[in-house]
Homo-oligomer: A and B are copies of this chain.
Amino acid sequence: MKEKKIIETRSKQEEDLGFKILGYLRRITRAINLNSKRLATENNLTSPQTFSLITIYHMGPLTLAEVASKVHLSPSTMVGIIDRLEVKNLVIRERSKDDKRQVRIRITEEGKKIAKKSPLPLQEELLESLSKLPEIQQKNLSKALKLLASILDTNHSSDKSLSADESCED
């Protein structure tokens, strides 16, 4: 009753909810980052690299902007990721013949092999932990994340992604 001056410009419950959620999100993103780096040393591929490679594998030759859009990254970020995938001989850039501005990213045979057996980032621990939860909780989690994702990225431009399907209407 006497330490009330700590937060005075925001109402208590709003502060609580926002601060908690942001804290959880920070922890989540950090865990994802750490996992990505661990995977990078073990499998020689970071999480964004793996995501991009699998996307290219599934959806055929794509332009750089298309890959970026599908994995929810900006083109300028994607340039570096493709650079690193290319020096590992997992993809190749080839200039489009009809529109010489475009660069088509094509997966190599080597890349296909990696894509086929490369674990999705976080897959192991996350799925194992998830499978221990009751199914209802798994559904809730997935729904909550989907909700949050759509809340957050309506504030920005919205292009459809590989994982933004609409088949989750329970």
Contact = CB atoms under 8 A, between A and B. Distances in A.
A21 B25 CA distance: 14
Interface in A38-84: 51, 58, 71-73
Q: In the assembly, how many copies of this chain are there? A: 2
Query: A interface, by DSSP: helix, strand, loop or mixed?
Result: helix
A121 to B, nearest CB: 6
A29 B32 contact: yes
Contact of A71 (B10, B26, B121): B26
A17 B149 contact: no
Contacts of A20: 142, 146, 163, 165, 168
A129 B142 contact: no
Given A24-B149, A145-B144, A146-B24, A126 B31 contact: no
Interface in A116-149: 116-117, 120-123, 125-127, 129-130, 133, 137-138, 140-149
B155 A35 contact: yes
Contact of A28 (B121, B127, B149): B149
Given A26-B72, A27-B149, A31-B153, 9 more contacts: A18-B126, A20-B165, A22-B51, A22-B123, A23-B162, A27-B152, A30-B73, A35-B152, A126-B152
Q: Which 3 A-B pairs have the closest CB atoms?
A: A23-B163, A31-B152, A144-B144
Interface of A: 6, 8-10, 14-15, 17-32, 34-35, 51, 58, 71-73, 116-117, 120-123, 125-127, 129-130, 133, 137-138, 140-149, 151-156, 161-165, 168
